[in-house]
Every structure is written in C-alpha cells, then in structure tokens.
Amino acid sequence: MQRRTALTALALIGSLTLAACSGGGTPAADGPVELTMWSWASLQKVADLWNADHPDIKVTVQEQGGGDELVTKVITAAKAGDGPDLVQAEYQMIPTLVSNDVLADITEQGGGAKDKFTENVWKQVTLDGAVYAIPQDTAPLAFYYREDVFTQLGLKVPTTWTEFADVARQLKQKDPKRALTTFSSNDAGLFAGLTQQAGATWWSASGDTWKIAIDAEASRKVATFWGDLVAEGVIDNQPMYTPAWNAALNDGTQVAWVSAVWAPGVLTTSAPDTKGKWRMAKLPQWTAGSSATGSWGGSATGITAKAAKNGHAKAAAEFATWLNTDPKAVAALVKEAGVYPAATAAQMSGALTTPEFFPNQPDFYQQVAELAKGTAAASWGPNVNVAYNTFKDAFGKAATEKSSFPVALKSVQDSTVADMKKSGFKIEG
C-alpha cells in the first residue's frame, strides 16, 4: 500500500511539473489511421476482428494491467502529450480523467450509442451533459451463497436486509464456527455499490459546483447496518482477497458473499473445491418486493484528448462504439475478456454462456439480466481515490475495533470535501 501512496504523490508531482507540452508528430495523411488502446484485458483478438474489416483504421491493444497505477500512468502520459488514443477506464475514474484533461468530449462522435445502454449506465460516462466514453461492461451486485450449506442447515435465502441479518444470526447459532459473510474494508467499491442500492449519490455536480453527500441518510443506513452486524459478531470483520479469506470460502467457514456478476471468476481461483455448490440470487432489498441493486466495478472505453487533437476522435469513437455494441465484437469481448457487457441487447444474446463454476445454475445470465434492470444510478467525482483510501483506513479501523461505522463514514466525507477544496473545486454547503 505504500507504493500506492507514493504513486498518489507522483501523480501530484507530475501534475505540478508540466502543464502541457508539445504533442507527438502528426501522422501521415495517407495510409490507415493507427490507433493504440490501453487496457488491462486481452483485447487484441477482438481488435483483430475490427482490423480485418476496417483497412482504414488499425487498432493495436497494449495490455497495461489495471488498477490505480494505470490511472496515474495515463494522466502522466497525457501531461506529456503522449499516451494512447483509447483507454479502458473504470466508471469511477472517469471524472478524475476528465478533470485531468485525459479524456475528450465525444458527445458528437459517440453520443449516438446512447440508446444501446440503460439510462443509468449511460449516466456514468457522461459528465455535465457531455459524453466521455462508451460503456463496456457493468457489474451489478448479487447475493452469492453456498446452496448445500443453506439446505443442510435449513437457512432461507434472504430477500431483504432484515432477513439477511436474521440468517446471519441463525447461522452463528447453529454453527458458531461459520459466518454468513465478512465486512471487508479493503475495497470501497462494494460499499459504494451497496449505498447506491439504498439510493445514495456520493458526488453530484451542477455547473462548476460539486455536492458531496457521502455522509448522508442512505449511506448512513448501510453503514449502520453492517456496523451493527460486525459489533454483534454474527459476521466476520476480516478483509477480502487474502489467503485466509480464500481458505474461508473454500472450506465453508464463510457461506455467502455479496458480490458482483464477475464473482464466478474470483470463486474459481479462491474456492476451487466448491465448484457447483454456489448459487446466485437477487441482492437483499431494503424494502420487501423491490428489486434495486448497485454496481461494483465495470468499465468504459474512453477516447483521449490526444486522439482528438490529432483528428482521430471520430475514428476512435467509431471503434469504441463497435467494440462495445456490435454483436460480433461483444461476443468476442465476452469470450476473450470474460466481461459482462454493458450493451442491453448483448445481455440477452447467446454470447453469455453459463459460468463453468456454476453448472448448477444454467440460467445464470438470464437471472443477471433480470436483476441488472434494477441497477441504481451511480455518480462519481474527481477524487474517488481519496474517498476510497480514507474508506480503507477509517472502516478498516472501525471493523477491527468494532467501533462506530457512521463515524468512519463521516471521516470519509470530511477528507473527500477537504481534498476537493484543496484542489480548487467549488463545494456546495
């Protein structure tokens, strides 16, 4: 984690050192337009399909590895007038990239793709009315549980959060060695998704004024709920993605996981012995009978300011639109990169085949498509990384000490507001 701090510092240094400098050479007028794309997924094979049909626009994918480091790298490259023409970006990073002048406004070139996506997905690639990327994949939240253990112990699959808490207590009573799940503080994305389900909007902008509502009613409800369960000791408080967590999922110490549609991939690695024993269900609801969910992850294809400067915005947007909406492209995308496509038509198409790890749930993706309809809107600001890092520290401490979660939430709000003020954003209230 120390490296991450160093990188944040570096991004700062980078942004201070140079405002802008000369762009690279202008490409020759004749010959095909050459575009490069940075991504963490193996997309070259998908791009090859495009290249075969489009001799005038040639796309090369350069795999970079994902995470915060990629954001730092893209920003640094943009400051030097360098970098790719297209970049894969997680939704929550789009405002950061826009405020660092990495992404170009492609409302004109890419805006036509709007009706291929649901409104809430499209919202995540627009900022103040302008379009900055084409959605690639989405990650609606669901409830994953060990079907065999639930049957064996006579537990009912929870449909509301109240039932969820009851099931956690029953399980603790029947088998104290097990826990329903854990509250993990090492990825704020899950918590953010859960607050979206409850109706939270952490960042919102009108004109040049931002409103930060992390410490607001909806998120407080979610924080209190999980904080109480941790304090009561009916769920675990250890972080996810550790060897201990892998072992707990594999040997059935933890029997459920609130996760996104990509969970089968993680379970394949983390809990290899439990193949065919998991089942996915709708996320528990705050109000019985409703069907809201949040997202944890998902990404879009952005077109960089460099591409726009070189006059390639149209070609790049054309490719990004094809990549994420064309049936052939999306099918390849699903096959090569294992994504859950954002395009609504693709979610219903036959491209998605039952995850290998879930042979017992052949209609997995039909169910996902059903619950994806209830995906709540998410909105992000220019300093998601600050909020997420504070979340890790504050909630990590609160989870270990079993202290107040709402207090931790307030500190996330405070540091996010302070950071934005420091960066010169106007904050409402």
Partner 1 sequence: MSALLVGPRVQPSVSARATRRTSWLATFLLLLGAIYCLVPVLWVVMAATKSRSELFSTFTFLPGSGLWANVSELSAYRDGVYWLWMLNSGLYAGVGALLSAAVSAVSGYALAKYSFPGRGAIFTVILAGVLMPPITLAVPQYLLLAKVDLAGSYWSVLLPSVLSPYGIYLARVYAAAAVPDEVLEAARVDGARDLRLFLSIALPMMRPGLVTIFLFQFVAIWNNFLLPYVMLADDTTFPVTVGLYSLLQQGASKPALYTLVITGALLSIIPLIALFLGLQRYWRVDLLSGAVKS
Q: Which parts of this chain interact with partner 1 (CB under 8 A)?
A: 3, 6-7, 9-11, 13-14, 17-18, 21-22, 24-25, 36, 38, 40-42, 62-67, 69-70, 72-73, 76-77, 79-84, 137, 139, 243, 246-247, 250-251, 260-262, 265-266, 268-270, 272-273, 297, 299, 337-340
| Smallest gap from residue 24 Cβ to partner 1 (A) | 7
CB of 97 to partner 1, least distance (A): 16
CB burial of 34-61 (b: ≥16 within 10 Å; e: otherwise) equals ebbbbbebebbebbebbbeebeebbbeb
N-terminal to C-terminal alpha carbon distance within the chain: 33
Shortest separation between residue 111's beta carbon and partner 1, angstroms: 26
Comparing CB distances to partner 1, the nearer of 249 and 412 is 249
Buried b (16+ CB within 10 A) or exposed e, 163-178: ebbebbbbbbeeeeeb
CB of 322 within 8 A of CB of 113?
Answer: no
Residue 79 CB, nearest distance to partner 1 (Å)? 7
CB closer to partner 1 out of 333 and 399: 333
Pairing of strands 141-146, 278-281: antiparallel
Closest approach of Cβ 398 to partner 1, in Å? 25
> Helix (H, G, I), strand (E, B), or coil: what is residue 294?
coil
CB of residue 410 to partner 1, shortest distance in Å: 29
* Structure tokens given for 73: 């790298």
Residue 114 identity: K
Of 115 and 273, CB closest to partner 1 = 273
411: nearest Cα among 422, 402, 398, 424: 398
| C-alpha span between 383 and 394 (Å, rounded) | 17
Residue among 204 and 246 whose Cβ is closer to partner 1:
246
Residue 142 and residue 280: Cα distance in Å, rounded? 7
Cβ proximity to partner 1, 79 vs 178, nearer residue: 79
Phi first, then psi: what are they for 397, rounded to 5°?
-65, -45
Q: Which is nearer to partner 1, 230 or 343 (CB)?
A: 343
CB of 230 to partner 1, least distance (A): 24
Task: Tell me how far apart the alpha carbons of residues 278 and 284 are, in angstroms, rounded to a whole number.
Answer: 17
Residue 134 CA to residue 266 CA, distance in Å, equals: 26
Q: What minimum distance in Å lies between the beta carbon of 38 and partner 1?
A: 7
Backbone angles phi, psi at 215, to 5 degrees: -90, 70
Task: Give the separation between CA 30 and CA 158, rounded to whole angstroms.
Answer: 62
User: CB-wise, 79 or 392, nearer to partner 1?
Assistant: 79
Q: Which is nearer to partner 1, 110 or 297 (CB)?
A: 297
**Which of 116, 144, 142, 180 has its CA nearest to residue 291?**
142
Q: How far is the CB of 272 from partner 1 (least distance, A)?
A: 4
| Contact of 334 with 348, CB cutoff 8 Å | no
Pick 142 or 216: Cβ nearer partner 1:
142
The nearer residue to partner 1, 89 or 216, going by C-beta atoms, is 89
34 forms beta bridges with: 58
- For the bound state, the minimum distance from the C-beta of residue 258 to partner 1, rounded and expressed in Å, comes to 14
Whole-number Å distance between alpha carbons of 100 and 131? 16
